[in-house]
Chains A and B, each alone.
Chain A
Amino acid sequence: MEEYQGVWVFIEQSEGEIAGVSLELLGAGRQLADKLEVSLAGVLLGDNVRELSTQVIGHGADIVYMIDDPVLKYYRTESYMKGVNYLAQKYKPEIFLYGATPNGKDLASAVATDLSTGLTADTTMLDVDVEKRLLEASRPAFGGNIMATILCKKNRPQMATVRPKVIKALPFDGVRMGEVVDETIDLREEDMRTKVLEIVKDVTKTASLADAHVIVCGGKGMGDLEGFKLIHELADTIGASVGGTRDVIEAGWLPHELQIGQTGETVTPKIYFAIGLSGAIQHVVGMKNSELIIAINKDPNSPIFEAATYGIVGDAFEVVPKLIEQFKQIRVKQGGEVSYV
């Protein structure tokens, strides 16, 4: 196992744009590599991606392992897996991190199977036991208000997918130096069993939550679909986006893409309203990095108050209508529709 050395990050890119989570992982990987006193490498696959290596190095990598090939234009499990497996078998990293995105999870699952190694899904905290050289990948354990640290003691590389937006990226450093290792493998389009015909960007759905400055999120404390209308009403009044907890999505009060939490979106708005939700850890990991968190809940012991900047212990059905009323009065005072922007 001693032959396995170094920390790797899979650099996910689409049409020449690096995914935010990959830059975040370079920040996290940098810390792990420094603790272990090894180098940090980014693994960059794609078509015409050479220029992106500057960004990978500028955000913390010492080495970029690159395979630049037209067959890698779009992400496909079979071609990307082949490339990544080749690199991992040749250079033998001890730790290998991927973003917990659809493509990152897909790739990591295939690579872990081929390398017969352990893979921890949807990690939200990373650390290393320096002495044992063990990656400590922690994630919320299902249902409960508890985290589990997963270890992979006997197999290498130790792999994990990591949730977007739980770690901050390092600022870009234009003078950082690094090495680009160019590799080629034998990839033929005619061998591929999948073809990507078209990528359709849909900015109206998930992106609206990911980019929102203000989010109003409701939980099952809103009672039913009728009660949940109050969440929409507040959001409409202040020009915010609406989100829901896992319970709310399971109950069908909101579509899946508006779920916030471990299995939904991770969000970091400027203002986050958490209303009628208890703050289960699987929800909190998806919103705790918001700048200003306002919680409204009847139960003073709800864990959401620990995450909140300001808490109101009270009935949402009493507090929220009053809040809406206050905003409406502002509008009246200032005469008609007012935008502060």
Chain B
Amino acid sequence: MHIVVCVKQVPDTKIIKINPKTNTLDRRSAPAILNPYDAHAVQEAVRLKSILGTGKISVLSMGPPQATEVIKKCIEIGADEGYLISDRAFAGADTLATSYALSKALEKIASVEPIDLVICGKHAIDGDTGQVGPGIARRLDIPPVTNVIEVSEINSNDRTILVKRKLSNGYELVRVNMPCLLTVEKEINKIEYSPLPNMLKAARYKSNIWSVSDLGEVNIAQLGLKGSPTVVGKMFTPPKLEGGKVLEGTSDEQVSQLMDVLLEQKELLNVK
């Protein structure tokens, strides 16, 4: 069983600062981390491999050379091999161009060792789109199952897996043929502490780094900025909401005014 997990290096949105003058992101202010959803994707691959008792986990990322750091993080969690595609030609890619580049790298990985399962995080916390995973599945012509909250069963005989997929108002049970692609929610598992041998391996791990020329037949026009149909037209501060009344006075006075407001709506409150 060969599982490939697609991962992304992102700025830590919990720490990131906004430049108040330009209203843009100060990327230097935030440390770069492994996208949290992707960490769960790697962890799930590790869990599946341990249940099966055999298999190989590769991770694939696209980004600048320093993105090898998140591949090391994946090795810590339990991945066996890491690949980074890094080239100026990839820069400025939107989700369409990103899924194209990653699918080309996946084809190359698969040419050496066929892939049974691709796992991605539900979305990356810096873009929040969730479009790259399903895009990759489409390009590889494998069925996707997005928003997976549980892998319930892997059947190696008929090569299917059974998963729970989160919906707006519940979940569905889906059986899907392998090879397939899953995108996972955080609740799928808990990130385990990395065992010491993994940490040691990660510390000295050298990722495979590929440029465009390593990917074989690639249509350059579909990569990076050139291959991206979407552009940012403008950035703007949202129309200011009017804001309402600020309740003045001591905290007792404020609470008393608020109670007057709330008691007008008392039919909505169920006071216990």
By a beta-carbon cutoff of 8 Å, the part of chain A in contact with chain B is: 14, 19, 74, 77-78, 81, 101-103, 105-106, 108-110, 112-114, 116-122, 134, 136, 138, 140-155, 164, 193-203, 206-207, 213-214, 236-240, 246-247, 250, 255-256, 262-263, 270-271, 281, 284, 288, 292-294, 300, 305-315, 318-319, 322-323, 326-327, 330-331, 337-341
Contacts and interface: CB of A to CB of B under 8 A. Distances in A.
B96 A119 contact: yes
B43 to A, nearest CB: 16
A113 B174 contact: no
Contact of A292 (B173, B177, B265): B265
A331 to B, nearest CB: 6
B147 A118 contact: no
B245 A311 contact: yes
Contacts, number: 281
Nearest to B162: A197
B112 interface: no
A202 B267 contact: no
A47 to B, nearest CB: 16
A141 B25 CA distance: 9
B217 interface: no
A121 B128 contact: yes
Interface string B2-26: 0000000000011010100001110
B167 A103 contact: yes
Contacts of B142: 193
A313 B170 CA distance: 38
B272 A154 contact: no
B267 A340 contact: yes
Interface in B131-188: 131, 133-135, 137-139, 142-147, 162, 165-177, 180, 185-187
A246 B13 CA distance: 10
B255 interface: yes
Given A119-B131, A194-B174, A311-B246, 12 more contacts: A14-B167, A77-B145, A105-B130, A108-B131, A113-B135, A121-B131, A142-B25, A193-B142, A198-B173, A200-B173, A310-B257, A340-B268
A106 B172 CA distance: 14
B211 interface: no
Interface size class of B (residues with CB under 8 A): 35 or more
A139 to B, nearest CB: 8
B206 interface: no
B96 A116 contact: yes
A214 B99 CA distance: 41
Contacts of B137: 77, 110
B186 A256 contact: yes
A116 B229 contact: yes
Interface string B100-129: 000000000000000000000001011111
Nearest to B129: A121
